[in-house]
Structures are given as C-alpha cells and as structure tokens.
Amino acid sequence: MLDIKFVRENPEIVKENIRKKFQDRKLPLVDEVIELDAQSRKAKQDADALRAERNRISKQIGALMAKGQKEEAEATKQKVKAFSDELAALEERETDLQAKIKKIMMTIPNIIDPSVPIGKDDSENVEVQRYGEPVVPDFEVPYHTDIMERFNGIDLDSARKVAGNGFYYLMGDIARIHSSVIAYARDFMINRGFTYCVPPFMIRSEVVTGVMSFDEMDAMMYKIEGEDLYLIGTSEHSMIGKFIDTILPEETLPQTLTSYSPCFRKEKGAHGIEERGVYRIHQFEKQEMIVVCKPEESPMWFDKLWQNTVDLFRSLDIPVRTLECCSGDLADLKVKSIDVEAWSPRQKKYFEVGSCSNLGDAQARRLKIRVNGADGKYFAHTLNNTVVAPPRMLIAFLENNLNADGSVNIPAALRPYMGGAEKIYPKK
C-alpha cells in the first residue's frame, strides 16, 4: 500500500505505474482517492476547529454559574451540545472517508522497481541466467506420476475418493524423498544463518489483507466457516504476520527466518487441477524464507534470497534458470520478483519451482511493522522466497536423477536424510 501523501503529491507517477502494469481500469481511482483525501483532511480540520471552540465555550459555563447567571449558563450548555452533535457528525464522516480511502489504496499497485521489464503477462518475463547444463537422456522420461507409481509411491485414486482432485497420498521411498528434501532445505537455510520457525497454519483476516492483494486473496485462500480464520497459502503469510503492529529496534534488523508449513490453495482461476499430476494441487508442503530489513538493504537481500534457492537446487544436481518477472506479472504489492525454474528433461523445458519477491514497505505499511531508528520511526521492507516446495520439486528431482533402468540417484547432499542410500529402485 502506498503512502497517501505520495499519491497526493505524485499522481502522474502513480498513474504511469498503473499503465506499466496494464491496469488502466484503475487510473480513475487515483483522482478519486485524492479527492476523498481532500474531503477527509477538510473534515478533520473542521472537527479540530469545532472541538477547540467547544472547549473554549465549555470553560465559560462554570464562570457564568459562579456569577449566578444561570440563564446564560444554560444557553451556553445548549451551544456546547449543538457543537458536540455537529462534531459527532464530522467524526463519523471522517471515519467513513478514511475507510473509503483505505479500500481504494489497497487496490492501487505498489511502485515497481525501475529495473522491472515492461510486459503484459508471464509470457514476457525475461530470462536472466542459467545454472547447470540441461540434459535430455537417450531414454524416454515418463510422466512424473508414472515414475512415482513404479515405486508404489503415489495413490491419487484413494486421495480422489477421500478429498477430490488436487490431493494425493505419497508412499514409501517417494514419501521419504519428499520429507528428506524438506529436512535438507531446513538445514540448508539454518546453515546460511536463518532462524528456523514452524508458524501457525491459520491466520486472521487482518493478516491476510496485510500480506496480499484482494485478487490474490480471492484466488488462493480457504476460509474457515464461521470463524475469522484462513488456511495459509504459504508460510510467508504467518511469518510476516508475526511482526504485525510492532516497532522493531533498528539494531535487531535484519530479521531472517526460514519456516516449514503445509500450504492450502484454492487455485481459483488457474489452469485447472490435473487428475493425474501433482504440479498444481490444493495442498502441499513448503520451506520458505522471509526477511524484514532496512529499506536500503532490501535490494541486497533480494539477490541473496533467490541465490539461496539456486544453490539448493544445484546441490541436488538439478539445472535451473532465473526469470525476471515483467510488470504485468507482478502482484500489486510487489516491487520486483524473480522466478526460479527447474529443468524438465521430459518436457525439454524449464518450469517454475519458486518465486522471490521484494515488497518494499507495502506489507509493513498495511501491518504497521515499524522500525525505531536513530532519526525516528519508519516502515521496514519485507521480502520472501521459496526455498523448496515438494511435491512440485519432486517432479524436477525424479526426472533429473532418473536412470534408464528406472532407478533414481540420490545426490550426496540428500543421502544422510535417506539412510545413506545412493539410489532407490522401482518396485515394478
């Protein structure tokens, strides 16, 4: 969420940013919110003046009573009452205007970084760099669930009966790889200086609206019926929410946390939930990283965060590339974002396995996450990035470590979590 003062003083910058995000329908909102802001400030000014006048006249009542001028005192009381009624109406108007302003401000997109490429959607994202050599083996790589089924490692039919499409049972060696990857990712981030955390898996609405746009909320979040609680779509939501309405001493920054959680997503408006695959699903597990830092340090942390994901995938012998997200592919709160994509030997192309985002002070402004610095208080910057998200990551892992005989290599980094096994072998 932008600062209303910035919008008031820089309307053309805000409008040009909206154009760069191809959201021209929001252009009228800028003038509308500026007008509402002017009305709100006028209502506040009138209320302050009326409050001062009411207080001045109120002081006369005691003096008039002391002089025995009861009629004058009663008349003055009536004036004070009239002022109070008018003041209540002004305060109600001011509250109403502030609510309208906040609603609009939460739909106006954040100012994107000047380095962000301009484009309408993810088809115009820009490749930055490749890491590792993509390999296409001389044998056919099966569909990922076919690989899992050879290990008796997945049961979609039973999951469909129990919960519907978009759910799965992972079994045996495949389930163990899944858990091993999560455990390895946890230790990988702890070794990079991050504090490990297991957060709440449900959050209140004020946190939801603090960490994401209304469009994202509608497309992603499951609400708990009859309660002010939502299932998290990623642990970033809980982790950033941890700092809601806090004033952090500057010397405690940066806050660097890595967290494990299950994630729940409606996937509304997505390309659809596959019946066979586990690429786009309603429930999965994830290791996440977040940073709360000084504004001037957020570009540096942005580069560190996505590099962590690249390094983790490379340690598991999986080639990856980074893509700079274009303006039209950025959610409204994001200043800048990079996707990490893993190589798929079966598809002979890369696919998304993680996303790193710098949100500037947007989340901090919504959630009132402030820093007490030497020169006064200011809003922190927040960033988040996927460390690893199985089972999607399992697709890349299995395809890139598959052998012609159907066995799957276990990279050296993962062997301590797999009982020392160097390979796993299919059951059929």
Reply yes or no on whether the pLDDT at 71 is more than 80: no
Q: How confident is the model at residue 167 (pLDDT cuts 50, 70, 90)?
A: very high
What is the C-alpha to C-alpha distance for residues 183 and 70, in angstroms, rounded to an integer?
A: 81
Query: Among positive and negative, which fits the CA dihedral 295, 296, 299, 300?
Result: negative
Confidence band, pLDDT 50/70/90 cuts, at residue 271 = low
Given a contact cutoff of 8 angstroms between Cβ atoms, the answer to whether 109 and 334 are in contact is no
- For 122-424, CATH gives 3.30.930.10
Three-state DSSP at 318 gives coil
Question: So what's the pLDDT on residue 203?
Answer: 97
Whats the size of the chain, residue-wise? 428
Annotate 153-222 with DSSP letters as a single string: -EEHHHHHHHT-TT--EE-HHHHHHHHHHHHHHHHHHHHTTPEEE---SEE-HHHHHHHS-HHHHHHHPE
- What's the CA gap between 312 and 185, in Å, rounded? 7
Measure the CA–CA gap between 365 and 356, rounded to whole angstroms: 20
Q: Is the peptide bond before 391 cis (omega within 30 degrees of 0)?
A: yes
Task: Note the pTM of the prediction, 2 decimals.
Answer: 0.90
For domain 4-105, give the CATH number.
Answer: 1.10.287.40
Q: Which of 367, 386, 368 is nearest to 377 (CA)?
A: 368
The pairing of strands 195-197 and 255-264 is: parallel
Q: What are the structural domain ranges in the chain?
A: 4-105, 122-424
Q: Is the pLDDT of residue 395 over 60?
A: yes
Does this chain's domain 4-105 share its CATH topology with 122-424? Answer: no
pLDDT of residue 269: 54
Alpha-carbon gap, residue 403 to 269, rounded angstroms: 37
Contact 315, 298 (CB under 8 A): no
Q: Is the pLDDT confidence value at 315 over 70?
A: yes
Share of the chain above pLDDT 90, in %: 82
